[in-house]
Amino acid sequence: MLNTKQILILILSVFLLFSCRKDFERPNWDVDLLAPLITTTLNLEDILPDSVLVTNPDTSLKVVYEESIFDVGVDSLFKIPDTTITDIYVVPITSIVAPGGSFYSESEEYALTITNGVGLNFAIIESGFIEVEILSEIQEDIIVTYVIPSAIKNGDTLRLVETVPAGSPGNPTSFKKKIDMSGYELDLTGISKSQINTLVTRAVGTVDPNASNSVTLNVGDEIVFKNNLIDIVPYFVRGYFGQQNFSYKDTSDIDVLKKISGGLDLDEVDVDIEFKNGIGVDAQMVLNQFTTQNTTTNINASLSHSVIGTPLNLNRSTLTYSTPEVNYTNYNVDINTNNSNIDNLIELIPNQLIYDVDLIINPLGNISGGNDFVYKKHVLETNIKVEFPLSLISNNLALQDTLGFSLPEESETGRILDGTLFLYADNGFPFDAKIQLAMYDEFDNYIQTINVDNQILAAPVDGNLRVTSKKQSVLSIPLNTSDVDNLYMAKKLLFTIAFTTQPQSQFIKIYEGYEIDLQIVGDFSYNVDLK
């Protein structure tokens, strides 16, 4: 076989020979070229996310996968919708008021609209606004002192002192101001301190002391006060959240095993379902369904365990009056291969989790006496933790990875005709393996699959079934003209390596450092076409 230097010398010699013979036909000939195309190493870090692979003390590997399924927070329990609260003062009798004289002083209570029937007695606001608008028909400038005595920030009561220009019944004047409510504490118990969802305001109207004359207030003249609550989001609330029922039915994606397919038998699987309550309410949960499914194979499996359909009582969290603000309460359900069929749910290599959970808030009613509480950042969480050692039996367990690929562009001076791909595999896994190559273009359009007849041999192991050294296999893949045409179009190669343990009855551990080195070399017939 000619090497690259020999080919170049040959091409140059022929070019010199024919360059002075204009009447000769353009020469061409076929040569053999040996060219490395791809060199790569695959290990479990290429197949599974680093975040889920954990190394045990003996350097064997395990998968630890954690996910939050759903949570219940302040947004689930209730909302404070945007609301406009209007109060109208109507002059009851005609009167004359001197400059600086007060003519109106009154406190009002306003019932806030809170969803889900929740009754609040206290709130700390994280964000949002109250927009205060005052319209006046008084025929002189007036000074309005507007106070929300139930809103306090840093020890100061929310207070506005503003001048509203003179108006008339036919042409009222107005004043508008938006107040940032972030950090304000709201007492929502009203004037009597015994109510819920009740905001108290107080307004005092005074004729401008700088007015030149007394002003006549005619019966029926109005001053209108509008309070617009905008985007109010509480940081903390206290009250009674009611006896609410929630149902959570959803399907969540599991992408941690997306590069794996085929047959898998795991030695051990442990799952911990954690219900973690950061809300000051008692709760009762029922897990109706816990199912995994593989949408590619259309296989699913549902959990068989005593937790299914059994009411679980979660105690309320408690306030610490420190940091963190609450003491969480926990309820954990241990699911393993000894008390359930959880291994079946993982061995089908799922890409989706389907769950159905019922939740009751305050199943025993208002046992807190209106002292339920919730912080925006502390919720009732449902988390799942799946853990299994990579001790397995595999039957064509397929691992996949995609590599960029490109043959040199075909030019007018030559083209690959046919040839053979040689796959050199140094296998560091204790499994036999079959390999398949699929071609894709730059737009991820499938082109062709190349099947490899022979298999990659397993690495040798010691008495503990631990790999002692890598095992090299050389596989040949003949190519015809059509295969070569497709290789020219290909920009990506998808490697699918299907591992099978031998014997099939023996669980084998995977250790840190296991890998397989792959090199593809093309032995091509190349047509050289010299102009």
Can you point out the beta strands (E) in 189-305?
A: 198-207, 215-217, 222-240, 245-253, 260-266, 270-277, 283-294, 299-302
Q: Based on the domain organization, do 406 and 366 belong to the same domain? A: no
State how far the Cα of 369 lies from the Cα of 190, in Å rounded to an integer: 17
State how far the Cα of 446 lies from the Cα of 78, in Å rounded to an integer: 50
In a domain, 265, yes or no: yes
* Domain encompassing residue 175: 79-240
Q: Based on the domain organization, do 335 and 479 belong to the same domain? A: no
Q: Based on the domain organization, do 272 and 327 belong to the same domain? A: yes
The H or E element spanning position 425 is: strand 414-427
Q: Based on the domain organization, do 319 and 277 belong to the same domain? A: yes
In a domain, 149, yes or no: yes
pTM: 0.78
CATH of the domain at 334: 2.60.120
Q: Based on the domain organization, do 249 and 384 belong to the same domain? A: yes
In a domain, 86, yes or no: yes
Question: What pLDDT score was predicted for residue 527?
Answer: 65
Q: Which of 358, 389, 420 is the last residue of a domain?
A: 389
Tell me the two tokens of residue 35. 């060219």
User: Which residue is it, tokens 């045990």?
Assistant: 56
Q: Based on the domain organization, do 87 and 211 belong to the same domain? A: yes
Q: Which of 206, 240, 274 is the last residue of a domain?
A: 240
Question: What pLDDT score was predicted for residue 152?
Answer: 97
Cis geometry, peptide bond prior to residue 503 (ω within 30 degrees of 0): yes
State how far the Cα of 393 lies from the Cα of 263, in Å rounded to an integer: 8
Question: What pLDDT score was predicted for residue 453?
Answer: 85
In a domain, 324, yes or no: yes
Q: How far is CA 515 from CA 191, 454, 506, 512, in A?
A: 74, 20, 20, 9
Q: Based on the domain organization, do 125 and 250 belong to the same domain? A: no
Q: Based on the domain organization, do 381 and 400 belong to the same domain? A: no
Question: What pLDDT score was predicted for residue 484?
Answer: 87
List helix spans (H) across 61-107. Answer: 74-77
The H or E element spanning position 186 is: strand 185-187
Residue pair 267/255 in contact by the 8 Å Cβ criterion = no
Q: Based on the domain organization, do 146 and 177 belong to the same domain? A: yes
Q: Which of 214, 240, 266 is the last residue of a domain?
A: 240
Q: Based on the domain organization, do 134 and 40 belong to the same domain? A: no
Question: What pLDDT score was predicted for residue 399?
Answer: 79
In a domain, 55, yes or no: no
Question: What pLDDT score was predicted for residue 412?
Answer: 45
Question: What pLDDT score was predicted for residue 395?
Answer: 85
Averaged pLDDT in 10-residue chunks for the chain of 531 residues: 42 39 42 70 84 93 93 94 91 94 92 93 97 94 94 95 93 94 97 95 94 93 93 97 95 89 91 97 97 96 97 97 95 97 95 96 96 97 94 86 78 68 93 92 93 90 93 93 89 89 83 92 72 51
Residue pair 459/470 in contact by the 8 Å Cβ criterion = yes
In a domain, 68, yes or no: yes
H, E, C per residue of 302-351:
ECCCCCECCEEEECCCEECCCCCCEECEEEEEEEECCCCCHHHHHHCCCC
In a domain, 54, yes or no: no
Question: What pLDDT score was predicted for residue 7?
Answer: 40
Q: Quote the distance between the C-alpha of residue 346 and its chain's center.
A: 21
Count structural domains, the chain: 3
Question: What pLDDT score was predicted for residue 410?
Answer: 58
Question: What pLDDT score was predicted for residue 308?
Answer: 97
State how far the Cα of 180 lies from the Cα of 184, in Å rounded to an integer: 9
Q: Based on the domain organization, do 468 and 443 belong to the same domain? A: yes
Question: What pLDDT score was predicted for residue 78?
Answer: 94
Q: Based on the domain organization, do 251 and 350 belong to the same domain? A: yes
State how far the Cα of 397 lies from the Cα of 1, in Å rounded to an integer: 39
Q: DSSP code of 11?
A: H
Cis geometry, peptide bond prior to residue 430 (ω within 30 degrees of 0): no
In a domain, 56, yes or no: no
